């Protein structure tokens, strides 16, 4: 009998056996993901009527009562802020969850945004997964590329393979800054890291009033001129809509939601009525705030009896040094921050109420992490435009107040007109009782954050604080432990790195359980340390968070080998108040040596790589192009991927048709907090450079007659941050020129964009604030931009 005359069922069986053999080679124990496909259970004969069809029974790879999981991660808020942990800001949602679950008083983060998020989602130390600094400051060292490698699968990727529906809302900040354009690549966006759904913003911060939003893989715009719109509220609304879809379409499978709003990262934006709740409550200043918070923390048992209140750093301004005519400005900034915190906590409450209303709360495990680092000192001495610090631009409060008066005065703080942040003294106060702030890995003021965990029916409130030392890298291993998910060896074909974190689930039932985390590595901007069995050794590093411009100047001469280290016995010294380095030099050397071993293993070398761009700003991640041609529909091009207009020498050529008395934006980059815009108003062309609010340079031409014209804007900037000479020509004839006294060396904003024919999001100029996005009324044929070698 020939092969062709064999019954067809035999051939099918051979094929089926081959597939079964292939699948059999793939383990079913979760060591290799995705799981192999299940073979069909029916029998395929030649004739339809002789065949049987049966879908395979779905495999149950999770415990029957596998919980829904909600991780809430707030932003830039320290240990001494929430009332729940002794602070002065009301946090009723955190209060309620702490009263039904358990609270952790020795939980830690990395002291900075992107690194904490990468560590949380992967269970690995931040530098091991390429996230040693924020995405916008990525540099070409293995631990600092800003790329989470596929060898470190995220929580979402793994939970999805086990049947979870996954979603992320709010701040992402783990995609390379030049990969956030509409054209991608998009494999490093949230949906490329295991999330079925994403709604939020890809960068490190955004306006709460005009946020630069993304839904899955597409840019979306918030409503324009809706006086009731606020991003944090929008994120709750969208999350509840997603839950409605989940409940309607597949409620038998659990969900994992990562809800990380921009609150309360700068800019501090909140409705006046929320800030007004705190009117007058901070008039005594930040030194008094710390003393009062320290007393409350002791009374509440948040900190151990005898915990010392650490002193203010000598380089940080005291409240009694603030001139009387600046007090209203400084207190209002803190009132706004406090209102923003309470409002954000209230939105977390709305989200949890939404779980209750949908019958989902009872089997939902919630991690409420109150901050991805300590409170932020990036407001320096108080700021109306927080990117002043990121750009290391020297300025005075007198200069800021003078600029503030031109846009509406103190009453516009917290509004769309400013990107305000409070004085670093308030950040230090918000880190009570510790030294330091955000950006310091050596002190708990930068790394220790409140955390509350609840799971109705599984975690019982016992009134005892959890004091075991833990870190954000421990969240993923905890979830895998609860679900009995083994650490996979291979995910999507990539050999997986080992986990750095350990499960903290052992603390759920026993507040006095022996700690199971022997060591933890910290480093941010060269501020570094090591926890080792109850001891901590660390060194401040070269960068002072509350004096960006001043400390950046000395980084080029810094030698990490010359840093002075400190040593603390945490079993007796909760607040790192008593340095034992001089008394125990051998212990210190032992810990320093172990730090270097961990640093090398975690790809942390060179130490201080996060500071590279502070001394080499021209090396910032940027587009590989030096020549572009844009059309009239170019929009939402992130600043880090856009041409360097306003930052470096460029030639912009606009080919456009104008109506008589035309209006509208030809092109713009940035927003109200800082940017550059070229627009026409009643036919006259205006070039406006908004140097982070404190300086504005503006030049206007005579009205442009109706017709098609070529406008050329030549800008010469000899060095980063230097003056810009600007020459404007119309049809080959110079019509205007100006000099911008100093320019922005790094970036105007974190997430605002370059737009042609309109100014989306926050408007660069107040001249068309009421008419935003102030679309151009004529026809733009092209906008051509050349820079760098293309100008030669």
pLDDT digits (tens, 9 = 90+) for 282-327: 999 999 999 999 999 999 999 999 999 999 999 999 999 999 999 9
696-724 average pLDDT score: 97
Which spans in 553-631 are helix H? Answer: 585-601, 612-615
How far is 99 from 459, CA to CA, in rounded Å? 11
539-551 average pLDDT score: 94
Band of pLDDT at residue 10, cut at 50, 70 and 90: very low
Q: What is the DSSP string of 730-783?
A: ETTEEEEEEEESS--SS-S-SS-EEEESS--SS-S-GGGGGGTT-B-SSEEEEE
- Characterize the bridge pairing of strands 32-33 and 490-491: parallel
Q: Is the pLDDT of residue 573 over 60?
A: yes
Q: Are 663 and 682 in contact (CB under 8 A)?
A: yes
Tell me how many degrees the CA angle 745-751-757 measures, rounded to the nearest 5.
90
Lowest mean pLDDT among 557-571, 607-621, 759-773: 607-621
How far is 475 from 203, CA to CA, in rounded Å? 23
Taking Cα atoms as reference points, which of 63, 68, 64, 165 lies closest to residue 359? 68
Beta bridge partners of residue 637, listed in sequence order:
754
- Characterize the bridge pairing of strands 470-471 and 107-108: parallel
How far is 559 from 740, CA to CA, in rounded Å? 36
How far is 461 from 464, CA to CA, in rounded Å? 8
Cis peptide before 185 (omega within 30 of 0): yes
Q: Are 599 and 605 in contact (CB under 8 A)?
A: yes
* 466 class by beta-carbon count within 10 Å (0-12 exposed, 13-18 middle, 19+ buried): buried
Residue 620 confidence (pLDDT): 81
Residue 24 confidence (pLDDT): 45
* 303 class by beta-carbon count within 10 Å (0-12 exposed, 13-18 middle, 19+ buried): buried
Which residue has 């016995």 as its token pair? 569
Q: Is 47 left (phi over 0), alpha (psi -120 to 50) or beta?
A: beta
Residue 13 confidence (pLDDT): 32
Residue 630 confidence (pLDDT): 97
How far is 403 from 240, CA to CA, in rounded Å? 41
Q: Are 119 and 470 in contact (CB under 8 A)?
A: no
Q: Is the pLDDT of residue 7 over 70?
A: no
Residue 26 confidence (pLDDT): 59
717-740 average pLDDT score: 97
616-639 average pLDDT score: 91
- Enumerate residues 6+ apart whose C-beta is below 8 A from 257: 68, 69, 70, 71, 166, 167, 168, 169, 239, 242, 243
Q: Are 171 and 75 in contact (CB under 8 A)?
A: yes
Band of pLDDT at residue 790, cut at 50, 70 and 90: confident
Taking Cα atoms as reference points, which of 542, 475, 591 lies closest to residue 108? 475
Tell me how many degrees the CA angle 422-525-115 measures, rounded to the nearest 5.
80
How far is 348 from 91, CA to CA, in rounded Å? 10
Q: Is the pLDDT of residue 12 over 60?
A: no
Residue 779 confidence (pLDDT): 97
* 320 class by beta-carbon count within 10 Å (0-12 exposed, 13-18 middle, 19+ buried): exposed
Beta bridge partners of residue 169, listed in sequence order:
199, 259
Tell me the percentage of the chain whose pLDDT exceeds 90. Answer: 89
Q: Is the pLDDT of residue 667 over 90?
A: yes
- Characterize the bridge pairing of strands 695-703 and 707-717: unpaired
- Enumerate residues 6+ apart whose C-beta is below 8 A from 487: 480, 496, 498, 499
Band of pLDDT at residue 237, cut at 50, 70 and 90: very high
Residue 11 confidence (pLDDT): 31
How far is 672 from 210, CA to CA, in rounded Å? 10
620-637 average pLDDT score: 92
Q: Output phi, psi for 364, to 5 deg.
A: -120, 120
How far is 743 from 669, CA to CA, in rounded Å? 14
C-alpha to C-alpha distances, 592 to 128, 224, 531, 538, 608, nearest whole angstrom: 19, 54, 11, 8, 16
376-392 average pLDDT score: 94
138-142 average pLDDT score: 95
Residue 9 confidence (pLDDT): 35
pLDDT digits (tens, 9 = 90+) for 460-493: 999 999 999 999 999 999 999 999 999 999 999 9
Full 3-state SS string of 165-226: EEEEEEECCCCCHHHCCCCCCCCCCHHHHCCCEEEEECCCCCCCCCCCEEECCEEECCCCCC
Band of pLDDT at residue 23, cut at 50, 70 and 90: very low
How far is 539 from 528, CA to CA, in rounded Å? 6
Q: Is the pLDDT of residue 15 over 80?
A: no
Q: Are 74 and 371 in contact (CB under 8 A)?
A: yes
Residue 25 confidence (pLDDT): 54
The pTM is what? 0.95
C-alpha to C-alpha distances, 245 to 201, 239, 361, 670, nearest whole angstrom: 22, 10, 16, 36
Q: Is the pLDDT of residue 580 over 70?
A: yes
Tell me the percentage of the chain whose pLDDT exceeds 70. Answer: 97
Q: What is the DSSP string of 659-697?
A: -TT--EEEEEEEETTEEEEEEEETTEEEEEEEETTTEEE
Band of pLDDT at residue 267, cut at 50, 70 and 90: very high
Cα within 13 Å of Cα(217), Cβ side: 10
Q: Is the pLDDT of residue 350 over 90?
A: yes
Band of pLDDT at residue 615, cut at 50, 70 and 90: confident
Rounded to the nearest integer, the mean pLDDT of the chain is: 94
524-552 average pLDDT score: 95
Q: How many residues does the chain have?
A: 792
- Enumerate residues 6+ apart whose C-beta is below 8 A from 420: 266, 267, 268, 333, 336, 379, 383, 384, 385, 386, 413, 414
How far is 150 from 33, CA to CA, in rounded Å? 12
Q: Which two tokens stand for residue 764?
A: 């660069």
Q: Could you tell me the sign of the dihedral formed by the alpha carbons of 134, 135, 139, 142, in that order?
A: positive
Q: Is 451 left (phi over 0), alpha (psi -120 to 50) or beta?
A: beta
Taking Cα atoms as reference points, which of 117, 120, 121 lies closest to residue 134? 117
Q: Where are the beta strands (DSSP E) in 337-405?
A: 364-369
Q: Are 623 and 183 in contact (CB under 8 A)?
A: no
Band of pLDDT at residue 30, cut at 50, 70 and 90: confident
pLDDT digits (tens, 9 = 90+) for 34-70: 998 888 889 999 999 999 999 988 888 999 899 999 9
Q: Which two tokens stand for residue 748?
A: 């105007």
């Amino acid at each position: 009998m020939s092969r062709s005359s064999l019954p067809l069922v035999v051939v099918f069986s051979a094929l089926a056996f081959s597939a079964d053999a292939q699948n059999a080679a793939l383990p079913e124990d979760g060591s290799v993901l995705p799981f192999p496909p299940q073979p069909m259970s029916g029998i395929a004969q030649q004739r339809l009527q002789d065949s049987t069809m049966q879908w395979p029974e779905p495999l149950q790879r999770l415990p029957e009562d596998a919980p829904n999981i909600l991780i809430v991660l707030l932003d830039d808020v320290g240990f001494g802020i929430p009332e729940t942990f002794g602070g002065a800001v009301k946090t009723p949602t955190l209060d309620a969850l702490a009263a039904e679950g358990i609270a952790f008083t020795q939980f830690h983060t990395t002291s900075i945004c992107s690194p904490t998020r990468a560590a949380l989602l992967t269970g690995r130390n931040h530098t091991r997964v390429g996230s040693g600094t924020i995405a916008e400051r990525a540099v070409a060292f293995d631990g600092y590329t800003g790329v989470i490698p596929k060898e470190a699968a995220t929580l979402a990727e793994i939970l999805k393979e086990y049947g979870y529906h996954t979603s992320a809302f709010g701040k992402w900040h783990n995609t390379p800054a030049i990969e956030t354009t509409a054209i991608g690549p998009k494999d490093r966006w949230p949906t490329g890291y295991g999330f079925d759904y994403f709604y939020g913003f890809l960068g490190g911060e955004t306006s709460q009033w005009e946020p630069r939003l993304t839904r899955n893989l597409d840019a979306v715009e918030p409503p324009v001129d809706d006086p009731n719109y606020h991003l944090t509220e929008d994120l709750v609304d969208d999350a509840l809509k997603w839950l409605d879809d989940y409940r309607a379409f597949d409620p038998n499978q659990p969900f994992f939601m990562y809800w990380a709003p921009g609150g309360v990262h700068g800019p501090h934006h909140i409705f006046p009525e929320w800030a007004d709740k705190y009117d007058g409550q901070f008039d005594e200043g930040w030194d008094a705030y710390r003393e009062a918070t320290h007393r409350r923390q002791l009374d509440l048992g948040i900190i151990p009896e005898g915990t010392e209140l650490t002193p203010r750093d000598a380089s940080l301004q005291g409240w009694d040094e603030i001139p009387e005519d600046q007090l209203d400005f400084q207190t209002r900034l803190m009132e706004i921050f406090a209102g923003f915190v309470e409002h954000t906590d209230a939105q977390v409450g709305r989200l949890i109420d939404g779980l209750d209303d949908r019958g989902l709360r009872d089997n939902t495990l919630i991690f409420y992490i109150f901050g991805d680092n300590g409170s932020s000192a990036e407001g320096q001495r108080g700021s109306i435009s927080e990117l002043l610090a990121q750009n290391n631009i020297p300025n005075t409060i007198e200069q800021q107040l003078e600029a503030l008066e031109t846009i509406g005065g103190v009453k516009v703080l917290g509004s769309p007109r400013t990107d305000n942040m409070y004085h670093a003294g308030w950040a230090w106060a918000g880190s009570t009782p510790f030294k330091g702030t955000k950006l310091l890995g050596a002190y708990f003021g930068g790394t220790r954050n409140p955390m509350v965990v609840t799971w109705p029916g599984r975690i019982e409130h016992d009134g005892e604080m959890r004091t075991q030392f833990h870190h954000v890298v421990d969240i993923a291993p905890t979830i895998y432990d609860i679900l009995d998910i083994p650490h996979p060896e291979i995910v999507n074909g990539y050999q997986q790195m080992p986990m750095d974190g350990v499960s903290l689930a052992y603390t759920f039932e026993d507040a006095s359980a022996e700690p199971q985390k022997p060591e933890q590595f910290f480093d941010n901007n060269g501020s570094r340390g090591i926890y080792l069995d109850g001891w901590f050794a660390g060194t401040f590093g070269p960068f002072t968070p509350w004096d960006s411009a001043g400390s950046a100047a000395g980084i080029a001469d810094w030698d990490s080998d010359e840093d002075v280290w400190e040593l603390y016995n945490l079993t007796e010294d909760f607040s790192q108040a008593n340095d034992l380095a001089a008394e125990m030099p051998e212990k210190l050397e032992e810990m320093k040596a172990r730090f270097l071993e961990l640093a090398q293993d975690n790809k942390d070398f060179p130490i201080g790589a996060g500071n590279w761009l502070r001394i080499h700003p021209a090396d910032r991640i940027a587009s590989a192009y030096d020549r572009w041609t844009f059309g009239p529909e170019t929009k939402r091009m992130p600043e880090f991927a856009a041409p360097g207009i306003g930052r470096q020498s460029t030639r912009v050529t606009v080919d456009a048709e104008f109506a008589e008395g035309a209006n509208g934006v030809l092109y713009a980059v940035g927003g109200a907090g800082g940017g550059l815009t070229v627009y026409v108003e009643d036919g006259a062309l205006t070039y406006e450079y908004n140097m982070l609010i404190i300086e504005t340079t503006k030049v206007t031409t005579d009205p442009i007659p109706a017709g098609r014209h070529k406008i050329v804007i030549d800008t010469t900037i000899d060095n980063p941050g230097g003056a810009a000479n600007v020459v404007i020509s119309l049809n080959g004839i110079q019509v205007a020129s100006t000099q911008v006294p100093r320019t922005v060396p790094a970036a105007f904003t974190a997430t605002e964009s370059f737009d042609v024919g309109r100014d989306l999001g926050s408007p660069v100029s107040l001249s068309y604030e009421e008419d935003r996005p102030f679309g151009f009324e004529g026809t733009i044929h092209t906008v051509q931009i050349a820079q760098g070698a293309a100008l030669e």
